[in-house]
């Protein structure tokens, strides 16, 4: 399952970091967003991120470095229990202060959310440019993403003018802020021009046996018949679907933590769990026709 809040920080910093800089005030929102790059060269940096999810708060040290010609992201908790998450070379390593590191199988490490899907964003959100501002002492431009329907939340991003990094972001529903992320400080060490881009995963569309919410596209899939994990995205929001063998026919469950909602139900000998930063209507859309994993 997703790691909270470390995993949300990873998604926020990898999934909404690649806006190009230099937008002019009189440019149309769509034209400005069209300047997005895939951030394959990347910036080498480190910073301190404050993340709030509902009443919970976490402070995390985030860094991106160049290791043997490839980019590596590291997330270290500065509050709560010690934990380090490292994503690099198609793998995720988690260290929790005791015992050997744990290696996780995850689509996040496959680069599935590192490149923004501009077509999906335009189809699912109205993009509104806001005013100039400052975050971590750096000039930024505000961008608001208004959802086109009830399958996604309102999102704000404060985009660094120089690097295109999202130095602040928030997710809201019905006027209530569900979670926020902000860089308290940021130190740049240059551009990783020699970084070898990670090849994004290309899952077979036939690997998903069920239905989807409008605007969400399959981005990655890992696992086998006993345990499988699919990742869908509308360009900004991410939804994970897990299918695991279930011999107990457990009762249905539903929960919420900040912007992250989850539902879990049993179908045909499998336990289906849908987890994502989206309204429950979007999550429910992945369940009704769920079939046994092929």
CATH number at residue 168: 2.50.20.10
Q: Do residue 33 and residue 70 come from a single domain?
A: yes
- Indicate the SS3 state at residue 290: coil
Q: Do residue 177 and residue 35 come from a single domain?
A: yes
Q: Do residue 34 and residue 128 come from a single domain?
A: yes
pLDDT of residue 28: 54
DSSP at 110: G
Burial of 21 (0-12, 13-18, 19+ CB in 10 A): middle
- For residue range 5-58, list pLDDT tens digits in order: 455 555 444 444 444 333 333 345 665 555 544 444 578 899 999 999 888 899
Among 169, 191, 213, where does a domain finish? 191
Residue 245 region by backbone torsions, left for phi larger than 0, else alpha for psi between -120 and 50, else beta:
beta
Helical segments of the chain, H only: 6-15, 29-33, 118-124, 280-284
What's the mean per-residue pLDDT of the chain? 77
Q: Do residue 51 and residue 88 come from a single domain?
A: yes
pLDDT of residue 288: 62
Q: Is 198 part of a structural domain of the chain? A: no
Give the separation between CA 42 and CA 193, rounded to whole angstroms. 7
- Phi and psi, residue 251, nearest 5°: -70, 155
Domain total in the chain:
2
Q: Is 134 part of a structural domain of the chain? A: yes
Q: Do residue 174 and residue 227 come from a single domain?
A: no
Q: Residue-wise over 244-270: b if at least 16 C-beta within 10 A, else e?
A: bebeeeeeeeeeebbbbbbbbbbbeeb
pLDDT of residue 81: 87
- For residue range 87-142, list pLDDT tens digits in order: 876 677 888 877 788 776 655 544 444 456 677 888 899 888 888 899 999 998 88
Residue with tokens 């005791």: 98
Q: Do residue 209 and residue 96 come from a single domain?
A: no
Query: What predicted TM-score, i.e. pTM, was given to this entire model?
Result: 0.82
Among 165, 191, 217, where does a domain finish? 191
Identify the CA nearest to 236 among candidates 45, 14, 7, 4. 14
Give the separation between CA 157 and CA 101, rounded to whole angstroms. 33
- For residue range 195-215, list pLDDT tens digits in order: 555 555 567 767 788 899 999
Give the separation between CA 239 and CA 264, rounded to whole angstroms. 13
Mean pLDDT score, 260-275: 88
pLDDT of residue 33: 56
Q: Do residue 73 and residue 141 come from a single domain?
A: yes
pLDDT of residue 180: 92
For the chain, the residue count is 294
Q: Do residue 99 and residue 22 come from a single domain?
A: yes
| Tokens linked to 62 | 């985030």
pLDDT of residue 40: 40
Q: Do residue 103 and residue 209 come from a single domain?
A: no
Q: Do residue 96 and residue 238 come from a single domain?
A: no
Beta strands in 89-236 (DSSP E): 91-95, 102-104, 125-135, 138-147, 154-160, 166-173, 176-191, 217-223, 227-233
- For residue range 214-265, list pLDDT tens digits in order: 999 888 887 776 788 888 889 888 898 988 888 787 888 998 888 989 999 9
Q: Is 56 part of a structural domain of the chain? A: yes
- For residue range 167-205, list pLDDT tens digits in order: 999 999 998 999 999 999 999 987 766 555 555 556 776
Q: Is 256 part of a structural domain of the chain? A: yes
Q: Do residue 159 and residue 101 come from a single domain?
A: yes
Among 191, 216, 243, where does a domain finish? 191
Q: Is 251 part of a structural domain of the chain? A: yes
pLDDT of residue 87: 80
Q: Is 196 part of a structural domain of the chain? A: no
Q: Is 199 part of a structural domain of the chain? A: no
DSSP string covering 203-220, please?
--GGG--S---TT-EEEE
pLDDT of residue 38: 43
CATH number at residue 268: 3.30.200.100
Domain that holds residue 123: 6-191
pLDDT of residue 192: 66
Determine if the peptide bond prior to 5 is cis (ω within 30°).
yes
Q: Do residue 43 and residue 113 come from a single domain?
A: yes
pLDDT category of residue 282 using cuts at 50, 70 and 90: very high
What's the distance, CA 206 to chain centroid? 23
Residue 47 · residue 183 · CB < 8 Å:
yes
| Tokens linked to 85 | 């998450």
Q: Is 165 part of a structural domain of the chain? A: yes
């Amino acid at each position: 399952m997703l790691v909270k809040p470390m995993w949300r920080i990873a998604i926020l910093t990898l999934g909404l970091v690649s806006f190009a800089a230099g937008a002019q005030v009189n440019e149309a929102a769509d034209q400005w967003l069209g300047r997005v790059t895939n951030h394959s060269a990347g910036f080498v940096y480190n910073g301190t991120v404050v993340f709030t999810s509902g009443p919970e708060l976490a402070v995390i040290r985030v860094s991106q470095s160049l290791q043997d010609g490839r980019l590596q992201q590291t997330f270290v908790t500065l509050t709560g229990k010690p934990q380090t998450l490292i994503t690099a070379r198609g793998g995720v390593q988690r260290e929790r202060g005791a015992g050997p590191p744990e290696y996780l199988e995850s689509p996040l490490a496959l680069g599935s959310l590192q490149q923004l899907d501009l077509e999906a964003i335009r189809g699912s959100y109205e993009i509104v440019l806001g005013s100039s501002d400052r975050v971590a002492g750096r000039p930024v431009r505000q961008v608001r993403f208004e959802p086109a329907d009830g399958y996604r939340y309102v999102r704000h991003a404060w985009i660094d003018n120089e690097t295109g990094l999202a130095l602040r972001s928030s997710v809201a529903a019905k006027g209530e802020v569900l979670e926020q992320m902000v860089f308290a400080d940021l130190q740049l060490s240059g551009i990783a021009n020699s970084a070898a881009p990670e090849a994004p995963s290309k899952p077979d569309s036939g690997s998903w046996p069920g239905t989807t919410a409008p605007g969400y596209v399959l981005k990655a899939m890992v696992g086998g018949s006993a345990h499988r994990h699919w990742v869908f995205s509308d360009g900004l929001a991410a939804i994970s679907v897990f299918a695991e063998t279930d011999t107990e026919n457990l009762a249905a469950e539903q929960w919420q933590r900040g912007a992250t909602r989850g539902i879990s139900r049993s179908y045909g000998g499998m336990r289906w769990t849908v987890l994502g930063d989206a309204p429950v209507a979007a999550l429910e859309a992945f369940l009704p026709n769920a079939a046994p994993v092929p």
